[in-house]
Amino acid sequence: MKHILGVSAGFHDAALSLINEKGDIVFAGHSERYSKNKNDENLSLGLLHEVTKYNVQHIAYYERPWAKQLRQLYAGQGIEWNKLTAKQILINQIGNEFKAFPSDRISTHNHHLSHAAAGFQTSTFDRATVVVIDAIGEWDTISIWGAEYDRKGQAVYKKLWRQTYPHSIGLFYSAITSRIGLRPLDEEYITMGMAAWGKPNWYESMTNAVVKNTHLVTMHNNYHTGLPENFLEAATNEDIACAAQMVAEDLISQVMQRARGFGWSSNLVYMGGVALNCLANRNLGKWFDRIWIMPCPGDAGSSLGAAALAYGRPINWVDAYLGHNIDGPYPVQALLDELSTNRIAGVASGRAEFGPRALGNRSLLADPRGSRIKDQVNEIKRRQKFRPFAPVLLEELVDQYFDMPSGFVNSRYMQVIASCRRPDLFPAIIHVDGTSRVQTVPRDGSGIRKLLEAWYDLTGCPMLLNTSLNIRGEPMVNDRADADRFEQLYGVKVFS
């Protein structure tokens, strides 16, 4: 069978996606999981070996190399104009594996359009408003699209609006992340978690200092190079995070209002790295009735978007378990026994998740009840104590325990926060603002679903604490060897 290989590489979080001629996603995975280099920008051989056994007829690259170089020159990013083609970039990335591949079977696609396609063509919508917000593509930083399928079933995208470099919500948020001592383009989710601990005292000062025109999403400065050294120097990190989240939400609101105003569709497909801001996402239902955020909305997901553009038709989205396979049945009974006795257990089973969240196949799971479990899991994860853990629960029971924001009837990929109705019962999975980043699991026959059902039967508790299974400083566990290292380092059993 013929396949299309989508490639995202050379910036951060390189990834490959492979689809077949029926539109099935055969594989999608991140380079970092193989190289163990977090957010690896380069394609690794281990990742490539997952796809070389297939008959690749076409390679689709997630952006336009020349346009990007032009912008990098404009931005003074210290690169030389080298007119690299997508094929040359691929060869640079992965040595000779692509050398013999015919150039006329390699296509390049606009960065934001790749984001849009990764969302729209995996959604169930025939027609949707697509919003892309990231740090930067070639030039676009925000784009709004009207998407639909034509009579032949081909996806058609009409660009309705865009904002361009250097005006960027993503670059602003990354600059804030760097300002408070975290790693930009990686730890924005920690900035977001910190926001709830801050006070909004600096909101107005930050708005005035940063935003030129809220409606147009223009900024006073280029935040690509960071913030001025003395930027709000009297403010605490928590207060800066709080103000930045508020400013970002103001700007995102303007974009969503504008997007809805085009009247194209009340279905929203939301993509780009900023779509991972699950705190801001709670507001999306103000403008849209139905919402789809592909679980890997950032640049890694655009490997799938580029492949989708080359394919042209809808992609058969089933779930996010698309990466490396650890063969064998999901170890339900072993996990159940361990959770009942020791309250914490690891699992590395089936296919790895595509996207930044562990959704039950590469997870550290724990009994969420009681006040001590958070500290116990934190001892293993050794992460900032202010951050809560997330719950995973039976989808049909979500309304009993959480108030889901409008527009979200479920949250299968941990993309939105919800207020917990029983914070007294589950303190480990509640943030200081009373919310949780919920993962709901439908009756899909998945391993995590079977485990939750068995756990519920045994204990009457419909949820587990779920955090990613990773050695500190490393990406998520990928294969059994990683899982063995985790066991040895932390003394927690990992079942396959």
What residues line the site for Fe ion (CB under 5 A)? 134, 299
Cβ distance to Fe ion smaller for residue 302 or 439: 302
295 upstream amide cis, omega within 30 of 0: no
Task: Tell me the closest approach of the beta carbon of residue 476 to Fe ion, in angstroms.
Answer: 21
- CA-to-CA distance for 95 and 165, rounded, in angstroms? 32
The amino acid present at 88, given as its one-letter code, is: Q
Query: Which amino acid is present at 442?
Result: P
CB 420: neighbour CB atoms within 10 A? 21
Under 8 Å between Cβ of 475 and 38: yes
CB of 239 or CB of 299, closer to Fe ion: 299
Q: Which is nearer to Fe ion, 206 or 296 (CB)?
A: 296
Among residues 15 and 259, whose Cβ is nearest to Fe ion?
A: 15
Q: Tell me how long the chain is.
A: 496
**What is the Cα–Cα distance from 437 to 421, expressed in whole angstroms?**
14
Q: Which positions ≥6 away from 352 have C-beta within 8 Å?
A: 29, 33, 321, 322, 323, 324, 325, 361, 362, 476, 478
Q: Which is nearer to Fe ion, 115 or 431 (CB)?
A: 115
In the complex, what is the shortest distance from the CB of residue 134 to Fe ion, in angstroms, rounded to a whole number?
4
Q: In what order do the strands lie in the sheet with 402-403?
A: 402-403, 417-420, 435-437
To Fe ion, the closest distance from the beta carbon of 155 in angstroms equals 19
* CB-nearer residue toward Fe ion: 134 or 188: 134
Cβ of residue 33: shortest distance to Fe ion, in angstroms? 20
- Is the CB of 249 or the CB of 299 nearer to Fe ion? 299
DSSP state of 377: H
Nearest to 236 by CA among 208, 210, 202: 202
CB of 485 to Fe ion, least distance (A): 32
Residue nearest to Fe ion (CB): 134
CB of 349 to Fe ion, least distance (A): 31
Q: What is the separation of C-alpha 365 from the centre of its chain, rounded to a whole number of angstroms?
A: 20
- Both tokens of 448, joined, read 């995590």
Contact predicate 291/260, CB 8 Å: no
Provide the minimum distance between the beta carbon of 173 and Fe ion in the complex, in angstroms, as a whole number.
Answer: 13
